[in-house]
Amino acid sequence: MIGVLALQGDYDKHLRTLDRVNIPAIDVRYPSQLSKIDGLIIPGGESTTMNDLMSRIDFHNHLIDFAQKKPIMGTCAGLILMSKKIKNDDKINPLGILDIEVTRNAYGRQLHSFIDKVEVVVDGSIINERVAFIRAPKISSIGKSTEVIGKHKNDIVGVKTGIHYGFAFHPELSENAYLHQYIFQGKTHYKEENNAA
Ligand code: GLN
């Protein structure tokens, strides 16, 4: 059973994505529910609001404990919350689950949201997809324990620290569910491309 943190933001789209590929899922609103799930998604939304709602019910410590043993995938605001340091915000208390530093709203305002192709490499498979960036953060630096798994032009947009994943874009708004299936079911879809040389 996979949980989607459902305090604020785009959680419903993640639940639908998981449902579409038959991954059993529940919305998680209380820390006590964490014991029932095998993995968690922290969705996009507004990281400041989510952080405030999390603080009210001591979610931070419970999520840090959960992450010791089970995988978490964070998308956009979720990635911000999972980071170690936020360069341009000191009101959010980041979880430090992904060893990265991020800059919020780094592409500009809502108007500068866009859809473009990214390249994500998981387990030797290359996924080339058009995805949505909505007031997305940029990953400004990564620690030694973090692997870059996604690029958009010269920007890092996907990372992995141990069993945890973070994406600056919104995979739940794509038609496919490749990243959800890879992270929570271990399924890969693409074989290595570009190996003609
Ligand atoms: N700009 C938002 C924040 O900083 C993130 C946007 C998103 O999740 N799509 O929280």
Q: What is the pLDDT of residues 43-75, one digit of tens each?
A: 999 999 999 999 999 999 999 999 999 999 999
CA-78 nearest atom, ligand 1: 8
Query: Of the listed 14, 76, 129, 164, which one is catalytic?
Result: 76
- DSSP lists the bridge partners of residue 41 as 4, 73
Can you give the residue ranges of every domain in the chain?
A: 2-194
**Predicted local confidence at residue 190, as pLDDT:** 55
Pocket lining for ligand 1, CB < 6 angstroms: 44-47, 76-77, 80, 104-105, 134-135
C-alpha radius of gyration, the chain, whole number: 16
- DSSP lists the bridge partners of residue 156 as 151
Residue 172 among the catalytic residues: yes
Query: Of the listed 14, 129, 172, 180, which one is catalytic?
Result: 172
Q: What is the pLDDT of residues 120-173, one digit of tens each?
A: 998 888 889 999 999 999 999 999 999 999 999 999 999 999 999 999 999 999
* Residue whose structure tokens are 């014991």: 35
Instruction: Give me the CATH topology for the region 2-194.
Output: Rossmann fold (3.40.50)
Q: Residue 121 CA to chain centroid, in angstroms?
A: 15
Gap between the Cα atoms of 95 and 81, Å rounded: 6
Residue 76 among the catalytic residues: yes
Residue owning the nearest CA to atom 1 of ligand 1: 135
pTM attached to this predicted model = 0.94
CB neighbours of residue 35 within 10 Å: 8
The residue among 20, 24, 37, 61 whose CA lies nearest residue 5 is 37
